[in-house]
Amino acid sequence: MDFSIRKLATRQFWRPVTQAFFLIATGAWLVVSYIATHMPSVDFLKDLRHDVQLGWWILFVAWCATAPGNKAAYKDPGPARSGTAVVAVCGVAAAIVFSQGADWPTGFIVPGLILLGTVVIATLVYRFASRHESEIGEARFDTIATSPHRDG
């Protein structure tokens, strides 16, 4: 019995569990969103859609938190990964903001274009930052000024 309790406290146990519930919540959110969009007479599904979406985000965070603890990979992500992540997060956030209250399908043209532009810009940022990785980063001043005009 002691072994099973210890096993419940490991990431190896909770990762597939949270992943399964995350995928179930994703399917439920898609079905409820589809029904609420195509059958506007069912008003209670709009509230249910927001509740399922909140559960989806909670499960997403839990799934990410149970990732294997390879701290070396996340200690210094590098300019290519961090720059691409910033572009992706900002683009997805902008698409979400513009899609709030939009009518299907014409209201999703701008968010779709934003997501397409985000993919293109993230690819360009990744390529640029990968090529110029040694030139990107914090400034390091390891030389001493040799000016003859010194302040006393």
**Structural domain includes residue 93:** yes
Q: Judge if 81 and 65 occupy the same domain.
A: no
Q: Judge if 59 and 81 occupy the same domain.
A: no
**Structural domain includes residue 144:** no
**Structural domain includes residue 81:** yes
pLDDT in tens, 41-81: 766 666 777 777 788 788 888 777 777 666 665 566 788 88
Domain termination residue (choose one: 70, 89, 124):
70
pLDDT in tens, 19-47: 888 788 888 878 877 777 777 676 666 67
Cβ–Cβ contacts within 10 Å for residue 56, how many? 18
> Mean pLDDT score of the chain, rounded to an integer?
77
32: which residues sit within 8 A by CB, 6+ positions away? 45, 48, 49, 52
Domain termination residue (choose one: 70, 85, 105):
70
Q: Judge if 44 and 98 occupy the same domain.
A: no
Domain termination residue (choose one: 50, 70, 90):
70
68: which residues sit within 8 A by CB, 6+ positions away? 11, 15
Residue-number span of the structural domain to which 44 is assigned: 1-70
**Structural domain includes residue 149:** no
Prediction pTM value: 0.50
Indicate the number of domains in the chain. 2
Q: Judge if 90 and 63 occupy the same domain.
A: no
Q: What is the reported pLDDT for 22? A: 79
